[in-house]
Structure 1
């Protein structure tokens, strides 16, 4: 029976991973379509487009810097320090919580369940941090574009206007722009440097800005007008998103509470009163009830997820 519980816990992890991949599938497909459309429009703009970088493509030097760890991009996107410290801290706390629950109940079947719960908690925590950082970057970007347009309208070159406007931007956008300028000092063009610096954050407006800068530098044109329209559109989009979030916040929060409350309460009650849960652990009927609860929790979490994503 312990093996069956282990399989059920592994299945829950796989379902959570599948939900994460499925939630980003539509966004990736839409991004790919927009990339192809932008490339086709650039291909019709003239023979000088041969040197233009592809939207979202990896700049020269590769998508990941040499010596960078696979999880550094995720940590940077979540506004966390890169390196081994945060992963080791998360793994250590998860193992400590798992050991406490296992020692308290005296059974090894708590190991997979606690690992699943810790994985879900870490996933939710990272997702919240990533969403907050992306929201802050998008709210700071229109002011930066307005300042860039103003400096370019005074007669400065686009590169000089970009450098001057960067000095007036607060964090966290300031860190991304400083990284872009450091890449330009190492020999990259401004658009390629911006694409490489913004790659860990996965923000489509930054990719569009990189393409606009590349077209302006290599072909020319009124980039200030395009940037001004981008700034106005981003402000309108941010206002609409805030109104949508305010309207649907109660439903989304209810989905999270209803999805996470049963397993967290069950684990806390099992740790607080192990004798109360002994029949569930050792009796065949308790095993069936526990497997049924896991199946119902998985189905309910999936339905609540679909409900929250459909809004």
Structure 2
């Protein structure tokens, strides 16, 4: 039964890879348009001081930044709450099957699942932050157009912004009240979120405050470009969502099926960890799963 399940999983992975490959040609043009638009916004012309400061942050600060980007409290309590259920599940699985290695495997899968969940939360928050930027920039343009300075326009536009962008802007205003320049305050407040539009806004504000110029026109063009970029990305995600979901389902299907078999019938599955042939079958299954998962990942990323 187990070799049949492994063979079926391998065939499913091959079929998914072929389906993704055949559908790739129809999406090349949309992908190229989205990448061209994203590269203009995401790639800086030169290395900025924010990049250097980010790379020099200690590991503890990086974990706190990761939790902030995921919308969680950057405390040890949050880390403990995330890990304790995985430890309990790993102990229960090891006791159920009577094999400590299986408990470690379950804990590794739990950590992987938590990582994917955090990544998805960060992605959603980043999308919400980017979607709020055009309205904020247009409010700044209107305030600057009636005679307000950039600092006053920034402060007035912040009052009409909702979370998750509002706390970042409020932190920047707090730093300015402490004597920091507006551009440096905005860079410092947005450092944990790694949001390029805010870093670009900080550069524009710093240049306009120190040198001058028609910053309202630059902000308006930046707002229009971000709206166009968001529309292109939304169309691309809608086009490829079904294929990416199929890749996730097919990639996780063998793992979920193996866990259900092991936990539902431990007497049947336990010899796989002790018999030499069973160990070889598990090794082959793990290699096939890694190879098929990597292939699905590469094909899904190419869409």
- Interval containing the TM-score (normalised by the shorter chain): 0.7 to 0.9
Question: SS at the partner of 2:192?
Answer: helix
Tell me if 1:83 matches 2:75: yes
Counterpart CA distance in 2 for 1:147 and 1:110 is: 56
Q: How does 1:70-109 map to 2 (within 5 A)?
A: 70-109=62-101
State the alpha-carbon separation in 1 of the partners of residues 268 and 63 from structure 2. 41
RMSD: 2.3
User: TM-score when scaled to structure 2?
Assistant: 0.82
Distance 1:206 1:160 in 2: 17
Number of residue pairs the alignment of both structures matches: 265
Residues 69 and 83 in structure 1, CA contact (< 8 A), matched pair in contact too: no
- The counterpart of 2:53, out of the listed 33, 58, 71, is 58
Shift of 1:135: 0.3
Contact between 2:92 and 2:103, CA under 8 Å: does it hold in 1? no
Unaligned runs of 5+ in 2: 1-34
CA distance in 2, matches of 1:151, 1:63: 37
Question: Are 2:274 and 1:282 equivalent residues in the alignment?
Answer: yes
| 1:246 partnered with 2:246 | no
* Aligned counterpart, 1:140: 132
Following TM superposition, by how much is the alpha carbon of 1:268 offset from its aligned partner in structure 2, in angstroms?
Answer: 2.5
State which of 113, 118, 121 in structure 2 corresponds to 1:121.
Answer: 113
Contact in 2 for aligned 1:38/1:55 (Cα 8 Å):
no
Please report the TM-score for the alignment, with normalisation by the length of structure 1: 0.80
Is 1:301 matched up with 2:293?
A: yes
Deviation for aligned residue 1:93: 0.9
Partner of 1:47: none
**Equivalent in 209, 213, 224 of residue 201 of structure 2:** 209
Check the 8 A contact 1:55/1:211 in 2, yes or no: no
Q: Can you give the 5+ residue segments of structure 1 that lack an aligned partner in the other structure?
A: 1-25, 40-52
Range with greater deviation from structure 2 (149-158 or 82-91):
82-91
Matched position secondary structure for 1:225 = helix
The CA deviation string for residues 172-210 of structure 1, in whole angstroms up to 9 with x for no partner, is 111110011111112211111111111111111111111
> Could you tell me which residue of structure 2 aligns to residue 182 of structure 1?
174
Question: CA 1:151–1:57 in structure 2 vs 1: closer, same or farther (change >3 Å)?
Answer: farther
Paired residue secondary structure (2:291) = helix
Return structure 1 stretches of 4+ with deviation > 3 angstroms: 53-59, 62-65
What is the CA–CA distance in structure 1 between the aligned matches of 2:272 and 2:251, rounded to whole Å?
22
Q: Cα deviation per residue 1:281-301 (whole Å; 9 max; x = unaligned)?
A: 221111110000000001011
Q: What SS does the corresponding residue of 1:155 show, helix, strand or coil? A: coil
